Structure 1
């Protein structure tokens, strides 16, 4: 066999392999259709532990993105402010998307805050033990004029919690290799305080009590932890 023929065969084989792999990795079913739908309004309790919803301060919660994008990307969103007995407040934002193809992927808070004029500090990522589970948490501080807002978030892709775009892509690819288009839930908590460390402590307490108040199926869904 001539060198040119061998080269042509090799190129043709590589092209066929690429097509085959693309076909295998192309999802055809939505993961969301394989399990019961969760309604955020009823799934997230409005009162739990030391916390109750404060309906007067919803306006303080920064929208994850513009209204038109919210409707395009997310099937459901939830934004609430909670207050505890000491008067400390935590803002909760939850956004759920049924279709995590690249054009509809959830937006990370760094870009959302930056797009609304906030100065966004560096993001730190670390596992946080909450309610007997380990959640990969991402933390940052967003500031604008006289508002300083420590933020904690994680994203649950299918059943897997992640805190960065690379792990999110790997999780989506893993589901795609099994023929599924993953869904995803963005969980974000924040508060307005000049004491960032105290802010994160309050957020962690809030998340722990929120998850503890949920039945096991919902707790694991929102935490992205294995049963």
Structure 2
């Protein structure tokens, strides 16, 4: 006697539902990679003279420890020290992560500096005028240890968004992913070792304004969004 197995209708419907869900998830995965820097190099993009400051060296900056994770996060990392021969040096760090993964992270100073033994002040926002007509909102903080007091301004760009906080950064990535995009990301940090906080932050803001002005207009969106 032959018995044909009965078809479990509920299992079949569940299987079809799971298959459809998997197909929808796959279809909604972000695939459009956005990379404003492309094949260009940060070394050529950023001027060696910014206002009265001239490129002096690449050493002396607080940087993330080298490890496979850091290598995966950053496609390009630029570190420079600029000097005007009078005031404390200006230190510039630009970390760029191209659109190669949907899990973008940017190494923010509030994580980097404590790993180097620094104590951080509360973070506040500061604005600088760039391009003569628009303002750039940056994070301002001080990192200190027994032998060094470093004043810091920094910002991040994720796709065409300018998130201020870590939460805003993650939200910017999620919004782009929902639109089918994998955004690139850039962190720009300028700092100086100076005990005079008000004077240091004013000079840092002036340095940022001069740097943005010194970059060709079409290339500025690599550092700041065009909205």
Match of 1:9 in 2: none
Write the distance in 1 (CA, Å) between the matches of 2:126 and 2:23. 37
Q: Which of the pair has more CA radius of gyration? A: 2
Write the distance in 1 (CA, Å) between the matches of 2:39 and 2:27. 27
Aligned: 1:146 with 2:147: yes
1:85-142 Cα distance to aligned partner (Å, 9 max, x none): 534311000000014633x411211000011111111111244333322212001110
Query: Helix, strand or coil: the match of 1:67?
Result: coil
Residues 15-24 or 213-222, more deviating? 15-24
Q: CA deviation at 1:59?
A: 2.7
Alpha-carbon distance change, 16 to 144 in structure 1, aligned in 2, over 3 angstroms: farther
Alpha-carbon distance change, 35 to 207 in structure 1, aligned in 2, over 3 angstroms: closer
Alpha-carbon distance change, 27 to 191 in structure 1, aligned in 2, over 3 angstroms: same
Q: CA deviation at 1:159?
A: 2.3
CA contact (8 A) 1:81 1:89 kept: yes
Aligned: 1:31 with 2:30: no
Q: CA RMSD in A?
A: 2.6
Equivalent residue pairs, number: 210
Match of 1:156 in 2: 157
Q: TM-score, normalised by structure 1?
A: 0.82
Write the distance in 2 (CA, Å) between the matches of 1:89 and 1:175. 37
- Stretches of structure 2 lacking an aligned partner (at least 5 in a row): 1-17
Write the distance in 2 (CA, Å) between the matches of 1:173 and 1:92. 29
Q: CA deviation at 1:164?
A: 1.0
Residues 159-168 or 112-121, more deviating? 159-168
- Counterparts of 1:59-138 in structure 2 under 5 Å? 59-63=59-63, 65-68=64-67, 69-98=69-98, 99=100, 101-102=102-103, 104-131=104-131, 132-138=133-139
Q: CA deviation at 1:199?
A: 1.1
CA contact (8 A) 1:135 1:224 kept: no
1:16-60 Cα distance to aligned partner (Å, 9 max, x none): 99979855753123212x8743311100111132110112xx332
- Stretches of structure 1 lacking an aligned partner (at least 5 in a row): 1-14
Match of 2:42 in 1: 40
Task: Compare the two structures and name the one with the higher helix fraction.
Answer: 1
Match of 1:52 in 2: 54
CA contact (8 A) 1:159 1:221 kept: no
Q: CA deviation at 1:146?
A: 1.8
